[in-house]
Amino acid sequence: MASMMQPQIILLKEGTDTSQGRAQVVSNINACTAVADTVRTTLGPRGMDKLIHDDKGGTTISNDGATIMRLLDIIHPAAKILVDIAKSQDSEVGDGTTTVVLLAAEFLKEAKPYIEDGVHPHSLIRSYRTAGHLAIEKVKDLATSIEGKSLEEKKELLAKCAATTLSSKLIGGEKEFFASMVVDAVLAISNDDRLNLLGIKKVPGGTMRDSFLVNGVAFKKTFSYAGFEQQPKKFLSPKILLLNIELELKSEKENAEIRLSDPLQYQSIVDAEWNIIYDKLDKCVKSGAKIVLSRLAIGDLATQYFADRDIFCAGRVAEEDLQRVAAATGGTVQTSVNNVIDEVLGSCEVFEERQVGNERFNIFSGCPSGQTATIVLRGGADQFIEEAERSLHDAIMIVRRALKNSTVVPGGDGNSKYLRQHARTIAGKSQFFVNSYAKALEVIPRQLCDNAGFDATDILNKLRQKHASGEGANFGVDINTGGIADSFANFVWEPAVVKINAINAATEAACLILSVDETVKNPKSESAQGDAAASAMAGRGGGAMRGRGGRGMRRR
């Protein structure tokens, strides 16, 4: 009898947690639904904000899906996939981060009853991928191109896209004001892909309407030494010298050793140090520059020297600000003051130091390249300004994408009705799965209604009826009246790439989670002795416990 017993095979470390089968898929779906419930109420113009308080005492108020998902400390491995798709939506298109999480969770929610009834996940995955492909094709059919339109028409269309994005944000009350500012800022950097050329500076105080756009570069006044106030604070058409060297009197103590045979020689060394700094300053003045900026310190001697010669200087300028000044003015950052020629100097129409709230700002406007812009944001609480910055980032990304892809779509798209009709042409179980996918797409209008306090069932019935009539493909929820309205006529527009990316990412995430049927969680590493003991037990089938040296463990 003993010879017939199968030997026990231990593959995984003791304490390893494994979950598998249908129950594991359902558990993953439940985790993803719980995550979506966290951000569900933030969707749309009437969405609520979340206040997230971290262990360091910092507080963040936001209704941006990607920001909330990033700040939530999610540990469930399947639910982390929703965090990843929110991040990817944010980096790719900038908006629709809440939408993508809701869609993915709803696709999974619709799949849950089928999984519980014993349907194989891959049957669902196949149907979902087919439905996702059809939905994306439908969005492309409805898209309107803005290519070939005049600059004024294009600006108007882009402003509508930006306003649609901002309507659901904290600064939605001033969406027209900020939408035109965002469009001007994005058009200023034209076709350049570097987002860091567009700066946002935050100054507490004032109202949102006090915010303004600088067609050039603006940055906060840097640390200054005595003599700074004697320098001129405004120039017309100045030449600008950009440096990455220190203009400060400092003894050459690094890696240097000097041995003197005569104490009188010490004075000549001190004089040499002064001559070096004066030589540098003299070359800066001879270059003809009226503004000298450096990434490193400009000391008190240099500050006073420049003040005596009516030259403005600023040291310890942030790297990103210096690079933006270089891009805007056409200058080149120099690592030496020797042989400074006119070609490396930048220029602008007007430079001035202006008071903004409690801060002083150095502002370069009328720059020749015109490839930079800076938005100076005003507002009350710090959290408010932080959220305003996040909102503007979303709007900037949307306008950039609309410019690049040059197609926009209305808010409502009738995709659910289109997929329901297509489902009727499919034979077999796939018909149910595509139908469920179509139903899941209705989560967006339903959630918009719930967040605004409207009767979701009543409005969705009106919407279905309008879509079924064949004339209302563009119809969507009207947040202002509590009914339905033509999204295209009401200028509720967004770049086609937002919807395409959201549908694509949500479908991929749902398929990925459905395809996982086992989770293996390794225990934390124990001491080497514990590991050796466990392996000894496994090898001997639970025989005598041995220490690392192989001797029997003795009781002391």
Q: pLDDT (tens digit, 9 = 90+) per residue, 160-201?
A: 888 888 887 878 788 888 888 888 888 887 766 677 788 888
pLDDT digits (tens, 9 = 90+) for 83-104: 999 998 888 887 888 899 999 9
User: How high is the pLDDT of residue 524?
Assistant: 67
Sequence-distant (≥ 6) Cβ neighbours of residue 271 within 8 angstroms: none
Task: Let me know the angle formed at the C-alpha of 13 by 12 and 14, rounded to the nearest 5 degrees.
Answer: 115
Check if the beta carbon of residue 58 is closer than 8 Å to that of residue 475.
no
The crossing angle, in degrees rounded to 10, of helices 97-116 and 496-514 is 30
More confident residue, 430 or 191: 430
User: How high is the pLDDT of residue 15?
Assistant: 55
More confident residue, 370 or 136: 136
Model pTM?
0.76
Q: Is the pLDDT of residue 239 over 70?
A: yes
Q: Quick one: average pLDDT of 327-336?
A: 87
Q: Is the pLDDT of residue 556 over 60?
A: no
Least confident residue range of 175-189, 379-393, 482-496, 515-529: 515-529
Check if the beta carbon of residue 544 is closer than 8 Å to that of residue 552.
yes
- Percentage above 70 pLDDT, the chain: 87
Q: Is the pLDDT of residue 553 over 60?
A: no
Q: Is the pLDDT of residue 532 over 70?
A: no
Task: Let me know the angle formed at the C-alpha of 208 by 206 and 212, rounded to the nearest 5 degrees.
Answer: 90
Q: In angstroms, what CA-CA distances link 526 with 16, 222, 522, 533?
A: 12, 52, 11, 11
Average pLDDT taken over every residue of the chain: 82
**Sheet harboring 346-347: ordered strands across?**
312-314, 291-294, 239-243, 346-347
Q: Is the pLDDT of residue 490 over 80?
A: no
User: How high is the pLDDT of residue 17?
Assistant: 56
pLDDT digits (tens, 9 = 90+) for 219-230: 898 888 888 888
pLDDT grade, residue 19 (50/70/90)?
Answer: low
pLDDT digits (tens, 9 = 90+) for 257-299: 778 888 878 888 788 888 888 888 898 888 888 999 999 888 8
Task: Count, in order, helices (H) and strands (E) of the chain.
Answer: 17, 20
Q: What six digits make up the tokens of 98? A: 């809440």
Where do we find the tokens 């503007």? 392
User: How high is the pLDDT of residue 10?
Assistant: 63
User: How high is the pLDDT of residue 528?
Assistant: 41
More confident residue, 349 or 493: 349
Q: Quick one: average pLDDT of 238-245?
A: 90
Check if the beta carbon of residue 295 is closer than 8 Å to that of residue 218.
no
Q: Are strands 198-204 and 373-379 parallel, antiparallel or unpaired?
A: parallel
Please name every residue paired with 144 in a beta bridge, in sequence order, or none if there are none. 408
Q: What six digits make up the tokens of 473? A: 């493909």
Q: In angstroms, what CA-CA distances link 554 with 17, 80, 546?
A: 32, 47, 10
Q: What six digits make up the tokens of 333? A: 């950052």
Longest dimension (CA), the chain: 105
User: How high is the pLDDT of residue 110?
Assistant: 92
Q: In angstroms, what CA-CA distances link 260 with 165, 257, 263, 264, 272?
A: 71, 10, 7, 9, 15
User: How high is the pLDDT of residue 126?
Assistant: 92
Residue 365 CA to residue 261 CA, distance in Å, equals 57
pLDDT grade, residue 549 (50/70/90)?
Answer: very low
Q: Quick one: average pLDDT of 479-488?
A: 79
Q: Is the pLDDT of residue 133 over 90?
A: yes
Q: Quick one: average pLDDT of 471-481?
A: 76
Q: CA nearest 441: which of 412, 469, 466?
A: 412
pLDDT grade, residue 24 (50/70/90)?
Answer: confident
Query: What domains appear along the chain, each with residue ranges and CATH number?
Result: 17-145+409-515 (1.10.560.10), 151-215+376-405 (3.30.260.10), 218-254+266-369 (3.50.7.10)
Check if the beta carbon of residue 369 is closer than 8 Å to that of residue 189.
no
pLDDT digits (tens, 9 = 90+) for 38-79: 888 988 888 888 888 888 888 888 888 888 888 888 888 888
What is the CB neighbour count within 10 angstroms for residue 134? 18
CA 315 to chain centre: 30
DSSP 8-state secondary structure symbol assigned to residue 548: T
More confident residue, 124 or 542: 124
Q: CA nearest 452: which of 479, 478, 421, 491?
A: 479
User: How high is the pLDDT of residue 546?
Assistant: 38
Q: Tell me which H or E stretch contains 132.
A: helix 121-142
Alpha-carbon torsion angle 478, 483, 486, 488, nearest 10? 10
Q: CA nearest 81: which of 32, 143, 148?
A: 32
User: How high is the pLDDT of residue 53?
Assistant: 87
User: How high is the pLDDT of residue 210?
Assistant: 87
Q: Quick one: average pLDDT of 435-451?
A: 89
pLDDT grade, residue 132 (50/70/90)?
Answer: very high
Range ranked top by mean pLDDT from 103-107, 236-240, 362-366, 403-407:
103-107
- Based on its alpha-carbon atoms, the radius of gyration of the chain, rounded to whole angstroms, reads 32
User: How high is the pLDDT of residue 127?
Assistant: 92
Sequence-distant (≥ 6) Cβ neighbours of residue 149 within 8 angstroms: 157
Residue 151 CA to residue 403 CA, distance in Å, equals 11
More confident residue, 483 or 349: 349
Buried b (16+ CB within 10 A) or exposed e, 258-294: eeeeeeeeeeeeeeeeeeebeebbeebbebebbbbbb
Backbone angles phi, psi at 12, to 5 degrees: -105, 155
Check if the beta carbon of residue 384 is closer than 8 Å to that of residue 171.
no
Residue 547 CA to residue 528 CA, distance in Å, equals 10
User: How high is the pLDDT of residue 545?
Assistant: 36
User: How high is the pLDDT of residue 527?
Assistant: 43
Q: Are strands 359-365 and 216-220 parallel, antiparallel or unpaired?
A: antiparallel
Where do we find the tokens 């108020």? 61
Q: What six digits make up the tokens of 334? A: 């120099």
DSSP code per residue over 182-218: HHHHHHHTTT---GGGEEEEEEEBS-GGG-EEESEEE
The crossing angle, in degrees rounded to 10, of helices 300-308 and 265-286 is 50
Where do we find the tokens 């310190």? 297
Q: What six digits make up the tokens of 440? A: 């899941």
